[in-house]
Amino acid sequence: MSRSVLITGGSRGIGLAIARRLEAAGDRVAVTYRTGEPPEGLLAVECDITDAAQVDAAFRKVEAEHGPVEVLIANAGVTRDALLLRMSEGDFASVLDTNLTGAFRVVKRATRGMLRAKKGRVVLISSAVALRGESGQANYAASKAGLVGLARSVARELGSRGITCNVVAPGLTETAMSSGLSDEQRANLVEQIPLARLASPEEIAAAVAFLASEEAGYITGAVVPVDGGAGMGH
């Protein structure tokens, strides 16, 4: 069955891996991109998720090409790390605006069509850091923890309308976001992971694809860690 799928931040990293996987399964996949080149072979719409007008315009384009969005993956995210005493209010607010309010903007816009269709799948990409916190990431961890409250509220509000909303919480994954780590930082982090390595973007995409599938129809409000066992299920 081919569904209209939209993935935010789908031009690289985890978002692109999700896009490729769902496309290979036969879905009509659209991605948003902001900077850089749009990925080949996918419907790519330019969109900065901090701007509600751009979000609306992106959805209109996707609706015109692929029909109303049936599966939304809110994946776009940023970090702006600093220790608390050095973290400016701007650093805090901008990460929240992208990671949490950005997800709110796209979920709100997507559910309009899903309510009409009386079905839908929403998956929010959080982080293992949401559940355990991380030194230097108060803004990022707060934004990613906020996604859990957002997802569970949406799950309660819209469950009776056939819409599920779940969270995937990846551990450290091999993408541009983790490429800035020093060898020492990487070794320290890997030491805390029972599977003793980072995740591949494809491994995150596999969990997302399941939660987005028809088969996951009785799962909502769940937080699924894909973290090599680092959180032991939390």
Helix axes 13-24, 201-211, angle to 10 degrees: 50
Q: Which of residues 185-224 bind ligand NDP (CB under 6 A)?
A: none
Amino acid sitting at position 93: A
Q: Which of 50, 192, 200, 213 binds ligand NDP (CB under 6 A)?
A: 50
Span of 73-81, 105-113, 115-123, 181-189 interacting with ligand NDP by CB under 6 A: 73-81
Q: Report in angstroms how near the CB of residue 36 gets to ligand NDP at its nearest.
A: 5
Closer of 57 and 117 to ligand NDP (Cβ): 57
Compute the CA torsion angle 12, 73, 46, 143 (nearest 10 deg).
Answer: -80
33: annotated active-site residue: no
x-or-dash pattern for ligand NDP, window 99-128, by CB under 6 A?
A: ---x----------------------x-x-
Indicate whether 178 belongs to the interface with ligand NDP (CB under 6 A).
Answer: yes
C-alpha to C-alpha distance for 120 and 217, rounded to whole angstroms: 10
Q: Catalytic pick from 33, 59, 104, 140?
A: 140
Q: Give 149-155's long-range contacts (Cβ < 8 A, gap of 24+).
A: 150/100, 150/103, 150/104, 150/107, 150/124, 151/122, 151/124, 151/221, 151/223, 152/221, 154/107, 154/111, 154/122, 155/220, 155/221
Helices (H), 28-137: 52-66, 89-96, 102-117, 129-132
Beta-carbon contacts of 29 under 8 Å, excluding residues fewer than 6 positions away, are 5, 7, 10, 19, 22, 23, 42, 43
Chosen residue from 23, 46, 48, 81 binding ligand NDP by CB under 6 A? 48
Q: Report if residue 173 touches ligand NDP, rule: CB under 6 A.
A: yes
According to DSSP, the residues that pair with 28 across neighbouring strands are 4
Radius of gyration of the chain (CA): 17
Among 1, 35, 37, 64, binds ligand NDP (CB under 6 A): 35
Q: Which is nearer to ligand NDP, 118 or 195 (CB)?
A: 195
**Token pair in block for residue 92:** 């805090």
The yes or no reply on residue 14 touching ligand NDP (CB under 6 A) is: yes
Q: How far is the CB of 175 from ligand NDP (least distance, A)?
A: 3
Answer yes or no whether residue 139 interacts with ligand NDP by CB under 6 A.
no
4 is a contact residue toward ligand NDP (CB under 6 A): no
Stretch in the footprint of ligand NDP (CB under 6 A) among 38-46, 69-77, 84-92, 183-191: 69-77
Q: How far apart are CA 150 and CA 101, in angstroms?
A: 10
Judged by the rule CB under 6 A, the positions of this chain that interact with ligand NDP are 8-9, 11-15, 32-36, 47-50, 75-78, 98, 102, 125, 127, 170, 172-173, 175-178
Q: Which residues are catalytic?
A: 140
